[in-house]
Amino acid sequence: MRLAVLILPLLAGCAAAPNNGPDPGHLILLSALIIPPESATLRLQYGHPVARNAVREYDPFCVFEINTVSDSPQNVRPGAFRITRIGYSIDTLADAASGLPYPTSIKVGLFSDHRPTHLYYKTLFWLNSEHQPGVRLLTCMSNQNMPGVYPFMRHLTLPEIRAALGTDFRLELRQGFVNLDSSVDRSPALVRPHGC
């Protein structure tokens, strides 16, 4: 408990810290994306868009997120998006990066053990573009909570992220900013987001 009291203020300061250094890279969109009506996200898996309820959550997938929800489809034009920050999280909900629209407690366990049924190891790329300011985030993850995986739970590697995104995207990261080429432990307690 004491450790949490000491670490939380540091993490809060880290999250709010501006990024004054060079950006860690770019996400290049090579062809237009269409965000479905009544949504602000598009899921990508095995190199192409998939419906929200068609994601195979034990395999790598990414969620491309914009700022607005509309009654009609929204078009994201090809272009370069600066990655302003990279972060890591472990969560029991795939959509928890943006927060819930209402404060509530959610039971995440089956039966009465209250252990989570899903553990998403997420890599978050905060995006920015002068030409398309409504694009905000790319989150890549997989559900790591399956039998026999516990000692090996990890965030996705760069090849896994690129395979989920497919050929319509090019993810370019500066060398030395982040090591996504191996399965290093990047749990939130051990890793600072870039820009902090």
Q: What is the pLDDT of residue 194?
A: 41
Q: Could you tell me if 105 and 99 are in contact, meaning their C-beta atoms sit under 8 angstroms apart?
A: no
The answer to the question of residue 16 being in a domain is: no
pLDDT at 188 over 70: no
pLDDT at 55 over 80: yes
pLDDT at 145 over 60: yes
Looking only at Cα atoms, what is the longest distance across the chain? 50
The answer to the question of residue 15 being in a domain is: no
Cα(93)–Cα(88) distance, rounded to whole angstroms? 14
Residue 50 domain boundaries: 32-95+109-196
More confident residue, 118 or 82: 82
Nearest CA-CA partner of 123 in 111, 140, 147, 107: 140
Q: Could you tell me if 106 and 165 are in contact, meaning their C-beta atoms sit under 8 angstroms apart?
A: no
Report the alpha-carbon angle 119-106-141, nearest 5. 25
The answer to the question of residue 3 being in a domain is: no
Q: Pairing relation of β-strands 48-50 and 74-76?
A: unpaired
User: What is the Cα Rg of the chain in Å?
Assistant: 17
The answer to the question of residue 6 being in a domain is: no
Cα(61)–Cα(74) distance, rounded to whole angstroms? 21
The label of the residue with tokens 């890279």 reads: 25
Q: What is the pLDDT of residue 93?
A: 67
Per-residue pLDDT of 62-109, as tens digits, reads 999 999 999 999 999 999 999 999 999 887 766 654 444 444 444 444
Whole-angstrom CA distances from 114 to 4, 78, 121, 175 are: 21, 44, 19, 41
The answer to the question of residue 186 being in a domain is: yes
Domains contained in the chain, number: 1
The answer to the question of residue 18 being in a domain is: no
The label of the residue with tokens 């739970």 reads: 153
Q: What is the pTM of this model?
A: 0.72
